[in-house]
């Protein structure tokens, strides 16, 4: 997602006749006067932007300028911009610029220009004031302007429109034949609901010790990818059948029976402020998942769209924000970059566990449906035991892998490279960000009937120094359990599976389903699976 740029061009005190170029790094001649992103009275407006050098750019045939003290560089329009839910129309989203998360404003929309049907490469001007930065998307670059001795008309805000606020004045060139409108970077940084990346906090984080490597589960809430630290998640399951309840209301869409414990289920998309709320009685798609968190008043289920992956991370990799364009931006710690360089909103688990509406729903549910004391005490003892996390998946039967063995989960690629050999259990070779990975089809390897479907997933795992992939029918849920529930494999004559698969299983996971039934899930041994493939080849 990193945009292409040409080598930086330093701008000194002289006007450059060639004007601004892509990747230009603008000098800081006026840096002493660079304003901070804080409120100031209108009387200081003209004084604040009294710069002698400006970088200009165009939208259609209209020319605009920004003081070079605020203009850091110009880059190509990024290919991937991650949307921010419920952002204003002019807010396109966020992109990653060399490890810095930058919000992008579409100036065409902001300044109420008509949509352009022309398909041309646009540019993004990176503006940085103090600890904050934003990107301004425009049509094409102009030049560097010297404002000394040039007639200028300063504006005072005279209305509630955005244009009245962000346009600071006009420079008159060529006797008034050429008019260049001056944008006020201070006001752009203070637009309502605009996220502002806190780069100073990011720089401080880099200095910190990396500490322990953590893991989080990423999921979809609609068009946005979020994540939460796995230490604060009790379970991740398919959404069970929901029951109508007097507790339903607001974002509580019903209750669910989780192995004898009744808990409220929250429509997490609605909770985050999206108007597209789920209504009880609507058909729940198979992809919907429920994250169970334990508040001090009891468990709560959060219904999300789908589970994406398990992401390993260090705390210093969470890129902070000073403000987010979210109704519940207070619940977001910052952003992570996943393996595809896509932006993931990192939720603050402590704030989720103390969210007043969650506490009220959990307390009411516990009062109406008190849990069995003995079962509750046993669950508390188990919760304090050492935890293990597994990914449950299906190919013919249910299997599991410890999440420490799985580097990521992806959809089955449409296009696979044909291997230079003919082995029926090799589905193909996938190119994952430049790394060639052999994809095994366990159905073919173990002589099971083949299946096909758009919902197939690939589990990527590492064996010694090499990565491999397993093609599975589906990824069903994430099971958070304890070592006590992981048992040695039963004797082969008690297994309801083929001997060849049983030889590649390292253990058995005892798991209690949503309806209270106990099931045994085979834990696949990836080392044995790879050895079998090598021997067969």
Q: Which residue in 30, 9, 57 sits closest to 183, CA to CA? A: 57
62-67: strand order across its sheet: 140-146, 53-59, 62-67, 178-183, 167-173, 151-154
**pLDDT at position 353:** 94
Q: In the structure encoding, which two tokens stand for residue 515, read together?
A: 């309806």
Would you give per-residue pLDDT tens digits along the chain (537 residues)? Answer: 444 433 332 222 222 333 444 444 444 344 333 333 344 444 444 444 456 778 888 898 899 988 887 887 788 888 888 887 777 888 888 888 877 788 888 998 888 888 877 667 788 888 876 667 789 999 888 877 878 878 888 876 555 566 667 888 888 888 888 898 988 887 887 776 555 555 544 444 444 446 677 888 888 887 778 899 988 888 888 888 888 777 777 788 888 888 778 899 999 988 887 665 565 556 566 668 889 999 999 999 999 887 777 777 888 888 776 555 566 778 888 888 776 677 888 999 999 999 999 999 999 888 888 876 555 555 555 555 567 888 899 998 889 998 888 888 888 888 888 877 778 899 999 888 778 899 999 999 988 888 876 678 899 998 888 899 999 998 888 888 887 788 766 444 444 455 578 788 888 888 777 666 778 888 999 999 999 988 887
Distance separating alpha carbons of residues 343 and 100, to the nearest angstrom:
11
Class of the CATH-defined domain 31-197: mainly beta
Q: In the structure encoding, which two tokens stand for residue 186, read together?
A: 């201070």
Residue-wise pLDDT for 27-81, tens only, equals: 434 433 333 334 444 444 444 445 677 888 889 889 998 888 788 778 888 888 8
DSSP notation for 262-314: EEEEEEHHHHTT-S----TTSPPPTT-EEEEEEETTEEEEEEESEEEEEEEE-
**pLDDT at position 351:** 92
**In which element (H, E) is residue 129 found?**
strand 123-129
Model pTM score: 0.55
**In which element (H, E) is residue 257 found?**
strand 252-258
User: Residues 444-449: contacts with CB within 8 Å, 24+ apart?
Assistant: 445/529, 445/532, 445/533, 445/536, 446/396, 446/498, 446/500, 446/501, 447/498, 447/500, 448/395, 448/396, 449/396
Measured CA angle at 466 (ends 461, 467), to 5 deg:
30
Q: In sequence order, which ranges of 289-412 are alpha helices (DSSP H)? A: 349-353, 356-368, 373-383
Q: In the structure encoding, which two tokens stand for residue 11, read together?
A: 């701008």
Domain 210-379 sits in CATH 2.40.50.180: yes
B/e letters for 171-196, b = 16+ CB within 10 Å, e = fewer, are beeeeeeeebbbbbbbbbbbbeebbb
Q: In the structure encoding, which two tokens stand for residue 371, read together?
A: 């849990």
Which CATH code is given to the segment(s) 387-536?
2.40.50.180
Q: Where are the domains of the chain?
A: 31-197, 210-379, 387-536
Q: How many CB atoms lie within 10 A of CB 160?
A: 7
Pairing between β-strand 289-295 and β-strand 235-238 as defined by DSSP bridges: antiparallel
Q: Which residue in 511, 470, 461, 524 sits closest to 237, CA to CA? A: 511
Is 210-379's fold the same as 387-536's? yes
Distance separating alpha carbons of residues 271 and 277, to the nearest angstrom:
9
**pLDDT at position 159:** 56
Q: State the virtual CA torsion across 441, 446, 451, 455 in degrees, nearest 10.
A: -50
**pLDDT at position 368:** 84
């Amino acid at each position: 997602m990193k945009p292409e740029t040409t080598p930086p061009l330093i701008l000194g005190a002289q006007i450059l006749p060639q004007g601004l170029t892509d990747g230009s790094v603008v000098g800081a001649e006026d840096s002493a006067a660079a304003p901070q992103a804080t409120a100031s009275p209108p009387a200081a407006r003209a004084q604040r932007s009294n710069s002698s050098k400006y970088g200009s750019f165009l939208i259609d045939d209209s020319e605009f300028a920004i003081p070079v003290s605020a203009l850091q560089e110009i880059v190509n329009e990024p290919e991937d911009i991650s949307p921010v839910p419920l952002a204003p129309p002019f807010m396109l989203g966020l992109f990653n610029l060399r490890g810095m998360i930058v919000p992008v404003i579409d100036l065409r929309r902001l300044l109420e220009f008509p949509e352009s049907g022309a398909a041309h490469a646009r540019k993004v001007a990176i503006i940085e004031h103090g600890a904050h930065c934003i990107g301004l998307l425009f049509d094409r670059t102009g030049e560097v302007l010297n404002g000394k001795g040039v007639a200028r008309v300063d504006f005072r805000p005279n209305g509630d429109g955005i244009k009245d606020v962000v346009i600071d004045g006009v420079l008159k060139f060529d006797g008034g034949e050429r008019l260049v409108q001056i944008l006020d970077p201070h006001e752009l940084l203070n637009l309502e609901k605009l996220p502002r990346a806190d780069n100073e906090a990011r720089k401080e984080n880099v200095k910190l010790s990396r500490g322990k490597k953590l893991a989080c589960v990423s999921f979809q809430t609609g068009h946005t990818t979020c994540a939460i630290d796995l230490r604060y998640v009790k379970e991740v399951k398919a959404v069970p059948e929901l029951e109508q309840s007097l507790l339903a209301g607001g974002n509580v869409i019903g209750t669910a029976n989780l192995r004898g414990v009744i808990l409220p289920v929250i429509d997490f998309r609605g909770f985050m402020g999206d108007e597209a709320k789920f209504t009880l009685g609507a058909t729940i798609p198979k992809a919907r998942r429920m994250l169970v968190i334990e508040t001090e008043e009891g468990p709560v289920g959060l219904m999300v769209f789908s589970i994406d992956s398990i992401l390993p991370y260090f705390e210093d990799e969470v890129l902070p924000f000073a403000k987010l364009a979210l109704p519940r931006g207070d619940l977001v710690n910052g952003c992570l970059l996943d393996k595809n360089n896509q932006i993931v909103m990192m939720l603050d688990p402590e704030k989720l566990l103390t969210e007043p509406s969650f506490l009220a729903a959990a307390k009411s549910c516990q009062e109406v449906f008190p849990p069995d004391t003995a079962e509750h005490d046993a669950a508390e003892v188990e919760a304090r035991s050492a935890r293990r996390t597994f990914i449950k998946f299906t190919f013919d039967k249910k299997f599991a892998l410890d999440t420490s063995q799985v580097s990521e989960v992806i959809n089955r690629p449409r296009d696979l490279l044909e291997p230079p050999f003919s082995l029926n259990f090799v589905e193909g070779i996938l190119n994952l960000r430049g790394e060639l990975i052999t994809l095994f089809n366990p159905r073919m390897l173990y002589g099971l009937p083949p299946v096909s479907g758009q919902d197939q997933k690939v589990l990527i795992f590492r064996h010694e120094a090499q990565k491999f992939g397993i093609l599975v029918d589906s990824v069903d849920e994430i099971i958070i359990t304890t070592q006590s529930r992981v048992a040695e494999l039963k004797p082969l004559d008690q297994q309801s599976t083929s001997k060849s698969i049983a030889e590649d299983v390292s253990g058995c996971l005892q798991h209690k389903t949503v309806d209270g039934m106990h099931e045994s899930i085979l834990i696949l041994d990836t080392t044995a699976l790879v050895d079998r493939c090598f021997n067969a080849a």
